[in-house]
Amino acid sequence: MNFRTLTALGAALLAPLPAAADDDIKIGYINKMGDHPWFVAEVAGAAEAAAAGGAQFASQDVQFNADLTITTLDTMIGDGVDGIAIVVPDRALGPIVAQRAAEAGIPLVAVDDDIVDNDGNPVPYVGLNAFAIGERVGEELAQKYAAAGWDAGSVGIVSIEDRKADTCMQRNGGAEKALLANSDLTEDQIVRAAYDNTMVNAIDVMTTTLTANPQYDNWIFYACNDDGVLGAARAMENSGYSADSGIGIGIDGSRACDAFGNGRESAYKGTMWLNSANHGRDAVNLLLAAIKDGAALPIATYSDPEFVTFDNFDTYRDRLCSN
C-alpha cells in the first residue's frame, strides 16, 4: 500500500499535545455501517493498531443515524477518550463533530468521508482521493469498452448515484469524466439513477433503468462502491442479459468475493480494491502519534487502489474472502 501525505496545514489543525502514558490512552472509533464488510475490516485494523500501541479501544456502529453519532461522540468524550476517529453518516455533521472534539481538547481524524469545521477548515483525513479513484474506474471502463467492440449507439451508461454523500458523487464524477474522455461515448447516453448505497436498492434502480431503456443492448455502469456495481450486475443477470453485455467496475473490493468466488463471470468486471483495514490502522496510528508525541496530524493521508478482476482474483482471494 502506497500513501501520499499532505502536511502543509497539519500544524494549524492540531497544536502539540502533552505526552501520555501508553496504558492510559483510550481511542474511540465511530463508524457509520458496522455490519458492512468494508467497516468490519476497517474497525479490525483500527483495533489492531490500538492494541499494538498499548492503547484501549472502543468502537461504535451508528448505522447512518446522525443523532446516535453525536450521542456516541459525547459519550466517548465523557468516558475520557484521548482521540477519536470517525466515519460520519452525513458530512453535514462535520462542524459539530469538530467543535465537540476541539472543546474537549482531543485530536480528531475523519476516515473515508472528509469533513470540515465551522470555519471551513478540513479535519485531518484518512481515506481515498475520491475523484482520482473515480478516474481510474473510468479509464478501465473505457479500455474494456474498446476491447468489447460494441457499437457506440448500442450502449447505455448508468451512473448509480448516492447523492447524499459528496465522496460518492466525486467518485462518480471522476468515472464519468475519464470514461467520456477516453471513448466515443457521450453524456446524453448517461442515465443517472439515485440509490441509497445498498446492493438491494442498486438491483431495484438498475432493473427500472433497464426496463425504461430498451433501446440499449449493452450497458456500462459505475457507482461509489461495490454494492452499487454488483447490484447492477445482478439486475442485468436477473433481466436476462448475458455477462458479456455489461461492464461495471466497483470501488472498495468488499463484494469481489461474492462476485468472483463462485468462478462464474458476470457484468461486474472488477473493483478498485482499497484495504480498509489500512484506513483504520492509519487513523489510529496518527492519533497515537499526536497523543504520545505531540505530532501534528497531516491534513490528508491517501491510499492507492489495486485493480482486482476475474482473471487475477485468486491472488487476492485469501484477503478478500477472509471475513
Indicate whether 151 and 28 sit together in one domain: no
> Residue for cell digits 468490519?
40
Indicate whether 41 and 67 sit together in one domain: yes
Does residue 321 lie within any of the structural domains?
no
Enter the pTM of the model: 0.70
Does residue 159 lie within any of the structural domains?
yes
The answer to whether 141 and 181 are in contact (CB under 8 A) is: no
Indicate whether 36 and 71 sit together in one domain: yes
Indicate whether 112 and 143 sit together in one domain: no
Each residue of 218-255: b (16+ CB within 10 Å) or e?
bbbbbbbbbbbbbbbbbbbbeeebeeebbbbbbbbbbb
Give residue 77's domain range. 3-128+275-304
Confidence of residue 4 (pLDDT cuts 50, 70, 90): very low
Q: In what helix (H) or strand (E) does residue 312 lie, and over which residues does it extend?
A: none
pLDDT in tens, 229-274: 999 999 999 999 999 999 999 999 999 999 999 999 999 999 999 8
Indicate whether 134 and 255 sit together in one domain: yes
Q: Give backbone dihedrals phi and psi of 100, rounded to 5 degrees, phi first.
A: -60, -45
Does residue 310 lie within any of the structural domains?
no
Does residue 7 lie within any of the structural domains?
yes
Indicate whether 116 and 55 sit together in one domain: yes
d(CA 47, CA 29): 9
Give how far Cα 272 sits from Cα of 40, 133, 166, 243, Å.
Answer: 18, 8, 19, 20
The SS3 call for residue 18 is coil
Indicate whether 62 and 174 sit together in one domain: no
pLDDT in tens, 19-71: 455 568 999 999 999 998 889 999 999 999 999 999 999 999 999 999 999 99
Give how far Cα 8 sits from Cα of 14, 85, 86, 129, Å.
Answer: 12, 21, 22, 17
Query: Cα–chain-centroid distance for residue 270?
Result: 16
Average pLDDT of the segment spanning 181-194 = 98
Indicate whether 153 and 258 sit together in one domain: yes
Closest CA relative to residue 56, chosen from 38, 80, 90: 80
Indicate whether 142 and 232 sit together in one domain: yes
Does residue 15 lie within any of the structural domains?
yes
Confidence of residue 17 (pLDDT cuts 50, 70, 90): very low
Indicate whether 258 and 294 sit together in one domain: no
Does residue 322 lie within any of the structural domains?
no
Indicate whether 177 and 300 sit together in one domain: no
The answer to whether 211 and 203 are in contact (CB under 8 A) is: no
- Domain holding 79: CATH number? 3.40.50.2300
Does residue 315 lie within any of the structural domains?
no
Average pLDDT of the segment spanning 77-88 = 98
Handedness of CA 222, 225, 230, 232 (dihedral sign): negative
pLDDT in tens, 189-235: 999 999 999 999 999 999 999 999 999 999 999 999 999 999 999 99
Does residue 92 lie within any of the structural domains?
yes
pLDDT of residue 304: 83
Question: Which grid cell is 273?
Answer: 480494491
pLDDT in tens, 143-159: 999 999 999 999 999 99
pLDDT of residue 166: 86
How many domains, in total, are found in the chain? 2
pLDDT of residue 322: 67
Residue 101 zone, left/alpha/beta (φ > 0; ψ -120 to 50; rest): alpha
Indicate whether 137 and 232 sit together in one domain: yes
